[in-house]
Structure 1
Amino acid sequence: MTPAPGITLEGRATIDGDLLFAPLTLSMAAGKWTCLLGGSGVGKSTVLRLIAGLATGAEFDGRIAATDGAEVIPRVGYMAQDDLLLPWATVTQNVALGARLRGERPDEARLSGLLERVRLADHADKKPDELSGGQRQRVALARTLMEDKPIILLDEPFSALDARTRADMQDLAVELLAGRTVLLVTHDPGEAARLGHSIVVMTQMGLTDCAPPAQKPPRRVDDLETLATQGALLRLLREEAA
């Protein structure tokens, strides 16, 4: 894997002439997790899709650049809100999809190891319609981790998981994405407080930073500073929605 760069998105977005988000500057530090929160419809998922080079339905006036000056899009791994699993493919085939699309042979050891880590080894030959929503989301997470990209974009990747599994998969993602530049969109203040090196709240009119806890992620869910950050984020989100 090439070294992970920092990423900066600067600009504004409109849909059919109506403002989606005002001019803003979102900076993601190299090799760190940036957590992006905000109400529905403020453009969080659009930001992810813009960085990934995907269609958004919005007109973007601005720029997206990496600190090393190299192209961003080829180095991106992206996990959408929907799992986007191929219904006719097995769990194993879905996780290895990227390699197969590139005409490469999947790394079988890495693949089997990931299935073990996301607790799906016993479901490797199942199709998506045989899985629960949480299991499907873990397949999508494993597929993203399988790509081993230096820039990772995650759109609510743990939302369908029960509390215990969510914490376990958060810990796993922090471990396996060490050194990557990660942008995580989440609606969960507790998740952002656990995982973010940088935490940003987005509204239609701009961005507000929230200081993260001093400890390294992943932080203990019951740590007092983590709980204090969670509370501060919730208050900020409620103020922005008022």
Structure 2
Amino acid sequence: MSKIEIKDLYLVFGSAKRQAIKMLKSGRSKKEIHSKTRCTIAVNNANLSINEGEIFVIMGLSGSGKSSLLRCFNMLNVPTSGSLVIDGEDITKMDKDALLNLRRKKVGMVFQHFGLLPHRTILDNVAFGLEIQGLPQEERHNKAKEILNMVGLSGYESSFPHQLSGGMQQRVGIARAIATDSQILLMDEAFSALDPLIRAQMQDELVEIQQSLKKTIIFITHDLDEAIKVGNTIAIMKDGVIVQQGTPEDILLNPADDYVKAFIGNVDMAKIITASAINEPFKARIWQGKDGPASALRLMERHLLKFLPVVDHLGRLIGYVGEKDIRKKIANKENNIDSIVTDIPKVSMDTSITDLLPLFINQKYPLAVVDHKDRPVGYIRHSDVVSMVTGYDDDKVQSIIESAN
């Protein structure tokens, strides 16, 4: 479900905005426009759809326009033209009071350098937004304590910001944004001021917190690894233009241009790409205690398969049966398949390719991909994994595997 829709949005800094946009639409470059009008094109015809409850990452190099675009979501930057719709309402048309209410109750912000009030305790920092909303002290303190416990800072209520580490201070910043029950959180390079170890921990904690909160989070970063780790969807910007938008795997597997390719050039694909990207869905399955060898062979012939998954009465994977074993059962006029079910390594959809390779040792069948209830959803062949890691096409990989065997 879409929470935010951006359509044809331009953001221009300078006095001759209309002239700048006219020149931009006629094909003039940013440099030429700045020389002629002294205007800076920060965002150029942005179009985005952000779903409710997702972490949407906007990334790009310094000067790409990502932070300028972020500040349009709470109207700290007022778009020059276009629309920005939240929950069906175009916030670019809001009056002063409506915008104030938007910033207080619907859209919260987590800053790069924490933005904490040094003279206030951690408890009062977290409760600050609630105080602005006019909540009584006891009520806002109780809510602040609840949120501090959620982010792992219970017991630090009476401390002051300078007494906490950088990672802990950033947790306070996140807690403050969460405490106001804001539906949307804006995070501008929120972890970039932290050292690498603490930064990695904060990324993990954000993903974990999001599992329970289901906020709509717009996350700004210049780090692709961070974007892949936290993001459900990524938009990459260059010179104010959104050059590609998609899931992390979409962008890694199908970069739109050389700029995006340069971004992903140093990424270890085997650690990032998961089973969901290369698994083939099962076309059929057989049920233990119900389907016999004849039914299994009919399904195999219909779908041109050499094996089939066997599931129990709840649909949970037990193992595979192969065509040769099925034909032997039929030749011997045996009706039960239990003795020929082969146990198979099972993996989840988010298992990385690096973790898949060792599981193929001494396996003649593909790996089984299962959902959270252990139900089979697809399979992965050894050749698919090797092809992804090496970059060779599938036919060449298959011939290498066969010659090795």
Query: TM-score normalized by structure 1?
Result: 0.77
1:46 to 60, 68, 80: 68
From the two aligned structures, give the one with the greater helix fraction: 2
Aligned to 2:124, what secondary structure does the other structure show? helix
2:276 aligned residue: none
Query: SS of the counterpart of 1:199?
Result: strand
Contact map agreement 1:36 1:44 (CA 8 A) in 2: yes
2:4 and 2:49 in contact (8 A); partners too: yes
Q: Contact conserved, 1:154 with 1:182, CA < 8 A, in 2?
A: yes
Show the counterpart of 2:287: none
Equivalent residue, structure 1, for 2:20: none
Number of the residue aligned with 1:134: 167
* Shift in Å, 1:37: 0.5
1:6 positional shift: 2.6
- Cα offset, 1:85, TM superposition: 0.9
In 2: Cα distance, 1:111 partner to 1:40 partner: 35
Q: Where does residue 204 of structure 2 map in the other structure?
A: 168
Count of equivalent residues = 223
Output the CA distance in 2 between the equivalents of 1:44 and 1:91: 30
Select between 102-111 and 81-90 the one with higher mean Cα deviation: 102-111
| 1:79 equivalent in structure 2 | 110
Aligned partner (choices 118, 123, 130) of residue 151 of structure 2: 118
Shift in Å, 1:107: 4.3
Q: 1:238 matched to which residue of 2?
A: 262
Residues 230 and 150 from structure 1, CA distance in 2 versus in 1: closer, same or farther, beyond 3 angstroms? farther
Code of the aligned partner of 1:7: E
CA 1:81–1:9: 2 relative to 1, 3 Å:
farther
Matched, 1:22 2:44: yes
Identity of aligned residues (%): 26
- CA-CA distance at 1:154 after TM superposition: 1.4
Matched, 1:37 2:73: no
What is the match of residue 83 of structure 2? 63
Bigger CA radius of gyration = 2
> Which one scores higher on RCO, CA 8 angstroms, separation ≥ 6?
1
Show CA shifts across 1:38-86 (max 9, x none).
Answer: 01122211212111122x4x86333211252375851211222231111
- After superposition, the Cα gap between the structure-2 partners of 1:11 and 1:112, relative to the gap in structure 1 and judged at 3 Å, is same
Aligned pairs for 1:216-227 (under 5 A) are none
Q: How far apart in 1 are the matches of 2:177 and 2:207?
A: 15
The 2-side partners of 1:239 and 1:129 are apart by 36
Aligned residue for 2:155, secondary structure, equals: helix
Query: CA RMSD for the aligned pairs?
Result: 3.2
Q: 1:237 to 1:108 in 2, by over 3 A?
A: farther
Aligned counterpart, 2:122: 91
Structure 1 gaps, min length 5: 214-224
- Partner of 1:20, secondary structure, is strand
One-letter amino acid of the structure 1 residue matched with residue 180 of structure 2: E
Deviations 1:110-164 (A, max 9, x none): 4223212322223221112222222211110110111211222111223326155
The verdict on how the C-alpha distance between 1:102 and 1:135 changes in structure 2, with shifts beyond 3 A counting, is: same
2:152 aligned partner, one-letter code: R
Letter in 1 for 2:122: V
Cα distance in 1 for partners of 2:216, 2:199 equals 25
Name stretches of at least 5 consecutive residues in structure 2 with no aligned partner: 15-38, 265-405
Partners of 1:111 and 1:131 in 2: CA distance: 17
For residue 19 of structure 1, what is the amino acid of its counterpart? I
Cα distance change of structure 1 residues 231 and 67 upon mapping to structure 2, 3 Å threshold:
same
- Letter aligned with residue 238 of structure 1: A
Q: Does 1:158 align with 2:178?
A: no
